[in-house]
Amino acid sequence: MKNYFTQLFTGKTAILLQFTGLIFLNLGLLGFEMLTEDPVYVNELKTWHTQREEALKKEDGWLNVAGLFWLHEGKNTFGSGKNNDVVFPEGKSDAFLGNFILENGQVRVEINPESDVKNGSNQVNSLPIFTSEQERPVVLSHQSLRWFIIKRGDKYGVRLRDLESPALKSFKGIATYPIDSKWKVEARLEPAVDGKTISITDVLGQTSQQKSPGTLVFKIKNKEYRLDAVESGNKLFIIFADKTNEKETYHTGRFLYTDKPDALGKIILDFNKAINPPCAFTNFATCPLPPKQNKLTLSVKAGEKRYENH
């Protein structure tokens, strides 16, 4: 059957146009493949990613984290003075702000009477800021700085934020792979034996046992893969690694959250929502690392790419 172009032209012109026609046909097919992505799904992901970036820039986001200082038992002086036990950034606070006092797993703060430190709108003189019973951190403020106490294993630390952080000001977004619905896969939850835990080690080298509801089992290109999950509120939380960590994505791995199983036991894993861990944005986070069973032997070219040079 003659090509449409040969019905209009003959000779060398016909040959040229046949070739050109094949190029346009192939480009058209490629374009059609991209257009088959559900526009509602694409817009949903774009909105989700915008919200994700906005969350990083908020006061409780990761871009403004400016320090992490581990406390020793007893009195810990703090401020911008170099002789303090906890040294805040130069030019960001009074030289001596006061003392953190760690005793028997509890922390209280005593503020220098000449310094302006607040908890919300309340001036602070002396205040318990960490106990084992508290549900939310007690946040203190001084100029552009905010800080509170975290506990990791048997360690107690001061997490510092700077609302004028250079990292916050220079943030221009996170590069991602193109949205591709092939990375939105159906999985089934293989329930764990009651009481099952998995070992999670963090960047500090501390290992904890986390309760796991089970293993997510799914297929990509007809090959079965498995990922152990833990619970995070009303979501499942997966810490995974894959071959893209070598050059394209964060070197230790990425995070993925997903809904718990529906009434039919089905779970959707959308790797287009794979995100960088907090350690990709600050050196002062204590990120968990993927357990060995969650290191995939394929390249997951979906979700967030490596941020800057992290």
In Å, how far from its chain's centre is CA 160? Answer: 19
Taken in order 277, 281, 286, 292, the sign of the CA dihedral is positive
**pLDDT confidence of residue 264:** 83
Note whether 89 and 49 are same-domain residues. no
pLDDT at position 245: 98
Residue 243, φ and ψ in degrees, nearest 5: -70, -20
d(CA 122, CA 124): 6
Please indicate, yes or no, whether residues 246 and 112 belong to a single structural domain of this protein. Answer: no
Domain finish residue from 164, 198, 218: 164
Number of domains in the chain: 2
Q: Contact at 8 Å (CB) between 78 and 164?
A: no
The pLDDT of residue 235: 96
Which pLDDT does position 308 carry in this prediction? 86
On whether both 75 and 154 belong to a single domain, the answer is yes
User: Given this model, what pLDDT does residue 36 score?
Assistant: 57
Q: 182 with 275, same domain?
A: yes
> The domain containing residue 118 runs over which residues?
65-164
The series of mean pLDDT values per 10 residues for the chain, 310 residues long, is 35 39 36 58 96 97 98 98 97 97 97 97 97 93 98 96 95 96 96 91 96 96 97 96 98 97 90 98 97 97 90
Co-location of 52 and 196 in the same domain: yes
Residue 28, pLDDT score? 34
Residues 141 and 231 in one domain: no
Claim to verify: residue 53 and residue 177 sit in the same structural domain: yes
Give the pLDDT of residue 72.
98
Q: What is the pLDDT of residue 310?
A: 63
Measured distance CA(244)–CA(246) in Å, rounded: 5
